[in-house]
Structure 1
Amino acid sequence: PATLPEREGWVDREKLHDITGRSRKPQMAMAEKFGIDDYAQPAGGCCFLTDKSYSAKLVDLWKARDSRDYELDDVMLLKVGRHIRPKAHFKLIVAREEGEGRFMQGYKRDYISMLCTSHSGPLVLLDGSLSAEDLYLAASITARYGQGRDAEQVDMAIMEKDGSERTIQVKPLAVDKMPEEWLI
């Protein structure tokens, strides 16, 4: 959709360059083309808004909250993990590797978290309001990303924000049962 600057005639989208990603090489080449050689060193890699995956996660955050009101921690968590939204009222943030899991450990008091205890698997944070049925769905999705993905049942620890913990057994969600539109 057209942005406000486009609708007001301030910007012509057709004249904009297709600059995406974190690399600053296209901007530096353009500066050279126009004979500009005195400019501040670009801080390549720091503008996450040019990253399509990050931008999609930010838009999802805004839609889920029906507001653009968020905390720094919300923005930090957009940088890590697989974000999966199986229902409009909650999403999972699944650590992709050990470093992300360690980072996400710092948020366990702010979110319900899950971890497979019968097999090796990722830490998962749950954002939103979940019913008991939602917790089972989230646990089966979580199990799908661990070493128990082919097991008949796995044990999943659910840690509440207050530190209380319980274990449930779930069947891991089959790969073909997870709709593509759940992935953010």
Structure 2
Amino acid sequence: MSDDIQQQYDALALLSGGLDSILAVKVVQEQGLRVKCLHFVTPFFGKPREVNRWESMYGLDIAVVDVSDDFVSMMRGRPAHGYGKVLNPCVDCKILMMRRTRALLQEYGARFIISGEVVGQRPMSQRRDTLNVIRRDAEVRDILVRPLCALRLDPTEAEERGWIDRSRLLSISGRGRKEQMALAEHYRLPEIPTPAGGCKLAEKENARRYWPVLSRLPDPQARDFKLANVGRQYWAANRWLTVGRNKADNEGLRKLARKGDLVFKVCGFPGPVAVGRQIDDDPWTPEEVAHAASFVASFSPRAVRSGELVQVELSCAGSSGQLTVMPSRQPGPEWAENQWLAVREEIKADARKLYDE
């Protein structure tokens, strides 16, 4: 590595796009230090389309880092530190991002890491003991600086070695926002972003979409969770059908369909696109395909009102054909959307099973 690359940045910052992460960068930049911000994305969080706007608005230097595969792998194996109130593995998520940031230090020629965490702000991931667990398990104990609350924590090697001036760091704690708002005014931020959040795994509506993917597919991948983000999600045992709700969904589903998927579209009537995700070693039977086509057709009001058999175009693996069906949600498998209360009990049972093992 050349000297030019080694001297490119002083620190790497985890940047969610929330207020705290932006302020943490500003506190460090105010010391004349060069910061490269890393914005992590997965199917569950991240706003890569906002990066250019953030760079211009806040004077930041940002790189997008996609950790989808690593994140889904962690979810498949179940997070070592468990979930929050919904399906959010906040502690393991932060450890994963810290580890990836540590691995990128040499690439960017940086010496330490900064994050916008505040002691006591979040009940699961920002308790003092949890903050210590994160820096221990991510192996960043000596190089992780939390500028907003550093004075409430023990000095790190980065501070003791003078890479950053500890006396100019802050001692914010708790869930209040008064000090952050004052800082935002001090730095004249043109727009006050949300405190952070934005993780779909923390929302019940999304958790009920994701849990069946995680628990019923034999080897769920990032692309499966991307599909779960779109349209209506229906399951019949381990058969999964996604039905578009509008034009945007329909276009999105066509893009997300992979080679082995079944893609349905009613012919001659306005209606949704639907994707049936097949498992390679467990293809759908002809009867299941026909029932799914009938179910999809039932989402076309005009097709239903016709009272007649309709044609449904079926595409799979580069070939296509048509099925003649009656629009109906019966007979056949009982396609159903998973409800949060039932999903919550499944998540709890899964956690108990892992604990017993």
With the length of structure 2 as denominator, give the TM-score of the two structures: 0.38
Unmatched segments (≥5 aa) in structure 1: 7-15, 18-29
Change (3 A) 1:108 1:75: closer
Bigger-Rg structure (1/2): 2
Change (3 A) 1:176 1:90: closer
Moved over 6 A (4+): 3-6, 175-178
Q: Do residues 170 (structure 1) and 322 (structure 2) align?
A: no
Task: Look up the match of 2:206.
Answer: 54
2:212 and 2:258 map into 1 onto residues whose CA distance is: 23
Q: Do residues 77 (structure 1) and 252 (structure 2) align?
A: no
1:36 and 1:5 map into 2 onto residues whose CA distance is: 31
SS at match of 1:70: coil
**Aligned match for 2:217, one of 53, 60, 65:** 65
- Is residue 115–residue 156 contact of structure 1 (8 Å, CA) maintained in 2? yes
**Aligned match for 1:160, one of 297, 316, 329:** 316
- Is residue 81–residue 96 contact of structure 1 (8 Å, CA) maintained in 2? yes
Give the partner amino acid of 1:56: R
Give the partner amino acid of 2:195: P
- Give matches, 1:1-184, under 5 Å: 30-32=175-177, 36-37=179-180, 42-44=195-197, 46-66=198-218, 69-85=219-235, 87-110=236-259, 111-128=261-278, 129-146=283-300, 147-151=302-306, 152-161=308-317, 163-174=318-329, 182-184=336-338
Give the partner amino acid of 2:253: M
- Is residue 93–residue 125 contact of structure 1 (8 Å, CA) maintained in 2? yes
Equivalent pairs counted in the alignment come to 154
Name the one with the larger helix percent.
2
How far apart are residue 53 of structure 1 and its match? 2.1
Give the partner amino acid of 2:304: R
How far apart are residue 177 of structure 1 and its match? 9.3
Change (3 A) 1:5 1:138: closer
How far apart are residue 43 of structure 1 and its match? 3.3
Indicate the RMSD between aligned Cα atoms, in angstroms. 3.1
- Is residue 89–residue 130 contact of structure 1 (8 Å, CA) maintained in 2? no
Change (3 A) 1:153 1:79: same
SS at match of 2:295: helix
Give the partner amino acid of 2:239: F
Unmatched segments (≥5 aa) in structure 2: 1-79, 84-122, 125-174, 185-192, 339-357
Give the partner amino acid of 1:122: P
For residues 13-68 of structure 1, what are the alpha-carbon distances to aligned partners after superposition, in whole Å with 9 as ceiling and x for unaligned? Answer: xxx69xxxxxxxxxxxx424xx5536995335x310122121011111122125xx
Deviates more, 1:138-147 or 1:69-78: 69-78
Give the partner amino acid of 2:211: V
Among all aligned residue pairs of Structure 1 and Structure 2, give the percentage whose two residues are the same amino acid.
20
Change (3 A) 1:53 1:41: closer
For residues 55-92 of structure 1, what are the alpha-carbon distances to aligned partners after superposition, in whole Å with 9 as ceiling and x for unaligned? Answer: 011111122125xx43221121111110111x213111
